[in-house]
Amino acid sequence: MERLVVIGNGMAGVACVEQLLKHGPKFSISILGDETHPNYNRVLLSSVLAGQKDADEITLNPVAWYAGHDIDLRLGARATQLDRAARTVTCEDGRRLEYERLILATGSAPVLPPLTGLNLQGVFVFRTLDDTRALIAAAGAGVRAVVIGGGLLGLEAARGLQLRGCDVTVVHLPDTLMNLQLDAVGGRYLQRHIERLGVRVCVNRCARAVLGDGAVEGVEFADGSTLPANLVVIAAGVRPNVVLAREAGLEVRRGVVVDDQLGTSDPAIYAVGECAEHRGVVHGLVAPLLEQAKVLAAVLAGHRDERYRGSIPAAQLKVMGVEVFSAGEINEGDGLDCVRYEDAGLGVYKKLLLRDGKLAGVALVGDTADSQRYAAWLRGGADLTARRSSLLFPAPAPDGGLDVAQLPAAEVVCGCLGVTKGDLIAAIHAGGINTLAQLKDRTRAATGCGSCAGVCERLLRAVAPDFVEAGPSPICACLPFTQEQLREMIRSQQLTSVQEVLEIYGQGEGCEVCKPALSYLVDLVWCGEHEEDRSARYINDRVHANIQRDGTFSVVPRIRGGVTSPAELRRIADVAEKYRVRMVKITGSQRIDLLGVAKEDLPKIWADLGMPSGQAYTKGVRMVKTCVGTDFCRFGTQDSTRAGIELERRLENLYTPHKVKMAAVGCPRNCAEATVKDIGLIGQEGGWQVVVGGAAGKTVRKADLLVTVATTEEALSAAELFFQYYRENANYLERAYDFIERVGIEKVRKQTVYAPAPARAALLERLRKAKALAKDAWLEREDPVHAAQFVQIQAMEVPQP
Amino acid sequence: MTPTFPARGAAPHAGKVRRSFAAAANAEPETWVRVTGVEAIPLRQGRSVRLGAREIAIFNLGDRFLAVDNRCPHQGGPLADGIVAGGTVVCPLHSWKVCLESGAVRKPDVTACVPTYPTRVEDGVVLVCLGAAPAA
Ligand SMILES: Cc1cc2nc3c(=O)[nH]c(=O)nc-3n(C[C@H](O)[C@H](O)[C@H](O)COP(=O)(O)OP(=O)(O)OC[C@H]3O[C@@H](n4cnc5c(N)ncnc54)[C@H](O)[C@@H]3O)c2cc1C
Ligand code: HEM
Ligand code: SF4
Ligand code: FES
């Protein structure tokens, strides 16, 4: 076997090796990488910085992958010398490797502009995982960050730092942001979007020095003005790593010069990725590099006719809430027709450049929904003459299936990782793929910048037999994240209070929509060990009673299973008279409601009642309605009363995404209406049916059968599994019936009653833990969270009349 | 802001600068009432207090206290029981959003507002300025 050495364990080098392995074993391969991590997805460092991904989630090839393919991986090994005559590479530590073929895949390094003070503590670059970790460690609430450079990288760094609580300013030398990808008008639209997110932007400013004594204190500009800072990120461009090649005498201009087969001026040496210069162009985005990697792999495998003919770069800004897409030419010029649309109010800017009836360039700011279509026209060189009057309108076909149906199978859907429509369909057919997550996992599509996720999802919808919708929508305007993302952020950033989440992700404010939802989420994620903040709770959850139209409250004590006693009824009657309750009402839930109670009377009423809270005011466990069952009913087959009381006991005092109403009935006559409850137990001869997702509110829905079991204990356990699964996975304010319609009962079954034993045990364990910490809220009558929780303030002095 | 609602008892200082000491600028005498220790109102919450004929909601916004009538312009809901969202409060009954600085309704898009009252903190005590007593 031939000896192949790859210098650079990054995206292009490893992609080339991956492709090469597909052609069969022909080489014994060594990879040298000066970073200490196996190959990871550099593109996603922005997401790591922004807290949307964990560092270990972005690994592309774990160490086991190298071992599994007999690749000799040397991490932390920097190649320092290349001897072309002897065909050897020498590392920093003196080790020497022989090669027959050599691939240079050294990528590039950040350009450090001529500023003084770059050695101060607190000055960072943003290129590697280690850089990112250092940035994360230095970022935080109250840190003033200055990002030098307003290109793709600088803006992504700025937003990431801001999400971590920093006060961020971007300083950019040219007049407009992202000037390599957008014209001046587009750059100004982008600036407004960025500023609206709360990131300050200074354009046309030349930084001269980083100020400070040991650590960064500020940045000084050419005009003498200064800006205070404790953290500076240099994002002023990259420069190919070519020292090794130049010293070895290879032809180098900006990058290592390669031909259409990625060969350098030495026939045994190839170059690929950001360090290579092909037809005068050095690419700085992943898609072209992966195309190069494919061609080089084919060439090395002996396919002599493969040629790389260049790529049209397409750039996408990965900043949540700001959509920017740019590809091809940027500025108007001779022979170019310009088609433009802008709406300053909406912040939407679209520009197409055409040459000879074909698309030559596209820039989209504020709305990138059509980017795939334009990218395809650009790549395919489609003749647009006939469509000239409708290039920007109408929007893509409203029929979701149509636009994917129109894509040819060879069309690249995921530009980042080079996955075609044909690849995706083959993967879906090959093996039980029904969700976007599975498709990503299998094909890696949509795992780069993620912009093709929409197309992938439409494709799944059209092709997958049991497609499962992801359906994410942001929680509210002040917090532009889905609840799933928020759950993940709360977990990974270890945020234990609502205010912490808001400080970092929501400009510190929050609203009546996100605050209660976050209150639920932090409680859920930390299993009750969160920092409770009553200011983020709705009034009902501050005083544990239901506010009425006149500002008074209603009191519903817990009467488990609807079973009470004469003594209890007498006590309730006494309390109702003592506090002159305006109305005593039997509720639809087999309980008693005392209406019209003043806030300051609440603790006293609870004490006099001596009964626990019925949680009738909150998103939590309401009741288990029961029928009389075997004890009395001549039809009864199961002891529904006892089962219902036990279920209520096991779940009471817990909070849920939305209210949970349950019922247990002794036979299919269903007297307590279990089939229209969130969870129902239906007794039958020899066992129980457990049903979930019923509704009898605005809409009526018959519950789905979750499972049929033999014993009462199994029925209770199935109900608990579903209950906890709903708690953990439903969106706040999503009733069980909506949750089931969204997720599908099959999936619910698979993840609860049919889940592997350890998964079931884990669900129940988390339920137990939360339950152990859950208390009857009405006990706050003796131990209020705040002295003035229930009472009105008494003024210290009476106003003078 | 245009007409105040409810019409009865519209405060003379509605819309005026908070913590105003500018009694001279105003012909009416100012009545500052010592209401309560700052600790009685938890951070980002409101509490109500009866001052003469008025019920006032006082909010603790961390760096300042703001006071408005405890009556939502919509159907009289208790604003003190609302969720604070930035410088606004959201009424617990039907979610009208009221600006605590100006008293103006921010959501829905209607022209209505509640009276506001200047406040200041002295030795850990919140004082509210009632202005001239309304014709109650
Ligand atoms: C934060 C960030 C966000 C990005 N976002 C996007 C995006 O959204 N879309 C996009 O298309 N592109 C994006 N990019 C660019 C993309 O990551 C690069 O184009 C791509 O990683 C380049 O691949 P490469 O293999 O050529 O270089 P690299 O991935 O940099 O790999 C080169 C490797 O070689 C190592 N090396 C260098 N010299 C030596 C030596 N002498 N000996 C041993 N090892 C050596 C380097 O340390 C490095 O590990 C982003 C880059 C960053 C930093
Ligand atoms: C402000 C509005 C409302 C208030 C204060 C309110 C209050 C209550 C209370 C206190 C109960 C008894 C709960 C218990 O015993 O646990 C109840 C039951 C019920 N409510 Fe409401 N409710 C309101 C709106 C609605 C609406 C809009 C619907 C339907 C669309 C609804 C449907 C029901 C039903 C069906 C029950 C009986 C549940 C059962 O028997 O299983 N309610 N409500
Ligand atoms: S559901 Fe069946 S067991 Fe229960 S009361 Fe009705 S008829 Fe009797
Ligand atoms: S009473 Fe305040 S919103 Fe209706």
pLDDT for B25 beyond 60: no
What is the value of pTM for the model shown?
Answer: 0.51
Contact (CB<8Å) B36/A800:
no
pLDDT for B2 beyond 80: no
Which is higher by pLDDT, B72 or A419? B72
pLDDT range class, residue A461, cuts 50, 70, 90:
confident
Q: Which of B71, B79, B90, B94 to mutate to test the pocket of ligand 4 (most atoms within 8 A of CB)?
A: B94
pLDDT range class, residue B128, cuts 50, 70, 90:
very high
Q: Which of B41, B44, B133 has its CB closest to that of A801?
A: B133
Buried/exposed A582-606: b ≥16 CB within 10 Å, e otherwise: eeeeebebbbbbbbbbebebbbbbb
Contact (CB<8Å) A793/B31:
no
| Helical segments of A129-174, H only | 129-138, 152-163
For residue A327, give the ligand nearest its CA: 1
Domain residues of chain B, as ranges? 17-130
Q: Which of A42, A48, A292 to mutate to test the pocket of ligand 1 (most atoms within 8 A of CB)?
A: A42
- Give me ligand 3 centre to Cα A752, in Å: 28
Q: Which of A549, A793, A798 has its CB closest to that of B48?
A: A793
Q: B90 to chain A: which residues are within 8 Å by CB?
A: 511-512
Measure A787 CA to nearest chain B CA, in Å. Answer: 7
pLDDT for B20 beyond 60: no
pLDDT range class, residue A561, cuts 50, 70, 90:
very high
CA proximity to A309, closest of A342, A279, A280: A279
Specify the residue for token string 């922004």: A50
pLDDT for A20 beyond 70: yes
* Minimum Cα–Cα distance from B74: chain A residue: A549
Fold of B17-130: Rieske Iron-sulfur Protein (2.102.10)
Contact (CB<8Å) B85/A535:
no
pLDDT for A427 beyond 70: yes
What confidence score (pLDDT) does residue A471 get?
Answer: 52
pLDDT for B91 beyond 90: yes
**What are the residues whose beta carbons fall under 8 Å from the beta carbon of A741, sequence distance 6 or more?**
A693
pLDDT for A355 beyond 80: yes
Pocket of ligand 3 contains residue A674 by CB under 6 Å: no
pLDDT for A390 beyond 90: no
Q: Which of A478, A551, A799 has its CB closest to that of B33?
A: A799
- Judge residue B54's burial from the number of C-beta atoms within 10 Å of its C-beta, 0-12 exposed, 13-18 middle, 19 or more buried: buried
Q: A787 to chain B: which residues are within 8 Å by CB?
A: 39-40
For residue A105, give the ligand nearest its CA: 1
Q: How far is CA A161 from CA A125, A134, A200, in A?
A: 13, 12, 12
Rounded (10°) CA dihedral A793, A796, A801, B1: -50
pLDDT for A507 beyond 70: yes
A304 in Cβ contact with A257 (< 8 Å): no
CA-to-CA distance for A693 and A741, rounded, in angstroms?
A: 8
Which is higher by pLDDT, B14 or B101? B101
CA-to-CA distance for A504 and A509, rounded, in angstroms?
A: 10
pLDDT digits (tens, 9 = 90+) for A278-315: 999 999 999 899 999 999 999 999 988 889 999 888 88
Q: A516 to chain B: which residues are within 8 Å by CB?
A: 83
pLDDT for B32 beyond 60: yes
pLDDT for A801 beyond 90: no
pLDDT digits (tens, 9 = 90+) for A777-792: 999 999 998 888 898 8
**What are the residues whose beta carbons fall under 8 Å from the beta carbon of A437, sequence distance 6 or more?**
A470
Q: Quick one: tokens of A468?
A: 């499962």
Mean pLDDT across B67-96: 93
Q: Which of A512, A787, A794 has its CB closest to that of B83?
A: A512
Measure A144 CA to nearest chain B CA, in Å. Answer: 21
Q: B42 to chain A: which residues are within 8 Å by CB?
A: 534-535, 786, 788
What confidence score (pLDDT) does residue A438 get?
Answer: 79
* Minimum Cα–Cα distance from B85: chain A residue: A511
Contact (CB<8Å) B83/A516:
yes
B122 in Cβ contact with B83 (< 8 Å): no
Q: Quick one: tokens of A95?
A: 């080790």
Q: How many other CB atoms sit within 10 Å of the CB of residue A800?
A: 10
Mean pLDDT across A21-49: 93
Measure A675 CA to nearest chain B CA, in Å. Answer: 32
Phi-psi region of A189 (alpha: psi -120 to 50; beta: other; left: phi over 0): alpha
Give the whole-number percent of chain A exceeding pLDDT 90: 69
- Give me ligand 2 centre to Cα A589, in Å: 8
Mean pLDDT across A722-749: 93
Q: A792 to chain B: which residues are within 8 Å by CB?
A: 47-50
pLDDT range class, residue B13, cuts 50, 70, 90:
very low
Mean pLDDT across A95-119: 95
Q: Whose CA is nearest to atom 3 of ligand 4?
A: B94
Whether cis (ω within 30° of 0) applies to the bond prior to A394 is: yes
Measure B45 CA to nearest chain A CA, in Å. Answer: 5
What confidence score (pLDDT) does residue A703 get?
Answer: 96
Give the whole-number percent of chain A exceeding pLDDT 70: 97
Contact (CB<8Å) A795/B75:
no
Mean pLDDT of chain A: 91
Count of alpha carbons within 13 angstroms of residue A136, beta-carbon side: 19
Q: Quick one: tokens of A692?
A: 């979930």
This model of the complex carries an ipTM of 0.79
CA-to-CA distance for A301 and B35, rounded, in angstroms?
A: 85
What confidence score (pLDDT) does residue B34 get?
Answer: 94
A284 in Cβ contact with A301 (< 8 Å): no
Q: B95 to chain A: which residues are within 8 Å by CB?
A: 512
* Minimum Cα–Cα distance from A541: chain B residue: B81
Measure B2 CA to nearest chain A CA, in Å. Answer: 26
In a mutational test of the B interface, the residue from A497, A498, A512 whose CB has the highest number of chain B CBs within 10 Å is A512
Mean pLDDT of chain B: 79
Rounded (10°) CA dihedral B90, B95, B96, B101: 0
What confidence score (pLDDT) does residue B28 get?
Answer: 54
- Give me ligand 3 centre to Cα A639, in Å: 10
Q: How far is CA A349 from CA A252, A295, A312, A364, in A?
A: 39, 36, 21, 6
For residue B82, give the ligand nearest its CA: 4
Per the DSSP assignment, residues forming a β-bridge with A328 are A361
Describe the crossing of helices A421-430 and A436-443 by its angle, rounded to 10 degrees: 110
Q: Which range among A96-110, A160-174, A502-516, B92-106 shows the weakest confidence by mean pLDDT?
A: A502-516
Contact (CB<8Å) A795/B44:
no
- Give me ligand 2 centre to Cα B22, in Å: 52
pLDDT for A25 beyond 90: no
Q: Which of A515, A786, A787 has its CB closest to that of B83?
A: A515
pLDDT digits (tens, 9 = 90+) for A635-658: 889 999 999 999 999 999 999 999
pLDDT digits (tens, 9 = 90+) for A562-599: 999 999 999 999 999 999 999 999 999 999 999 999 99
Q: Quick one: tokens of A327?
A: 């590809």
Contact (CB<8Å) A512/B35:
no
- Give me ligand 2 centre to Cα B75, in Å: 22
CA proximity to A147, closest of A122, A176, A116: A122
Per the DSSP assignment, residues forming a β-bridge with A98 are A88
pLDDT for A633 beyond 60: yes
pLDDT range class, residue A705, cuts 50, 70, 90:
very high
* Minimum Cα–Cα distance from A499: chain B residue: B44
* Minimum Cα–Cα distance from B96: chain A residue: A512
CA proximity to A64, closest of A38, A25, A33: A38
A537: which DSSP letter?
S
Q: B39 to chain A: which residues are within 8 Å by CB?
A: 787
Q: Quick one: tokens of A139?
A: 């970022």
CA proximity to A142, closest of A228, A202, A225, A234: A228
pLDDT for A122 beyond 70: yes
A84 in Cβ contact with A266 (< 8 Å): yes
pLDDT for A398 beyond 80: no
Q: How far is CA A685 from CA A479, A625, A645, A667, in A?
A: 51, 20, 20, 8
Q: Which of A788, A796, A797 has its CB closest to that of B47?
A: A788
pLDDT for A483 beyond 90: no
pLDDT range class, residue B95, cuts 50, 70, 90:
confident
Per the DSSP assignment, residues forming a β-bridge with A354 are A337, A359
Q: B11 to chain A: which residues are within 8 Å by CB?
A: none
The pocket around ligand 4, CB under 6 angstroms, is made up of: B 72, 74-77, 91, 93-96
- Spatial strand order in the sheet of A324-328: A314-316, A324-328, A358-365, A348-355, A337-343
What confidence score (pLDDT) does residue A22 get?
Answer: 87
Q: Which of B31, B43, B50 has its CB closest to that of A535?
A: B43
- Give me ligand 1 centre to Cα A489, in Å: 26
- Give me ligand 4 centre to Cα B78, in Å: 8
Which is higher by pLDDT, B101 or B136? B101
Q: Which of A16, A102, A286 to mutate to test the pocket of ligand 1 (most atoms within 8 A of CB)?
A: A286
What confidence score (pLDDT) does residue A456 get?
Answer: 84
- Spatial strand order in the sheet of A72-75: A72-75, A27-33, A2-7, A101-104, A269-271
pLDDT for B86 beyond 50: yes
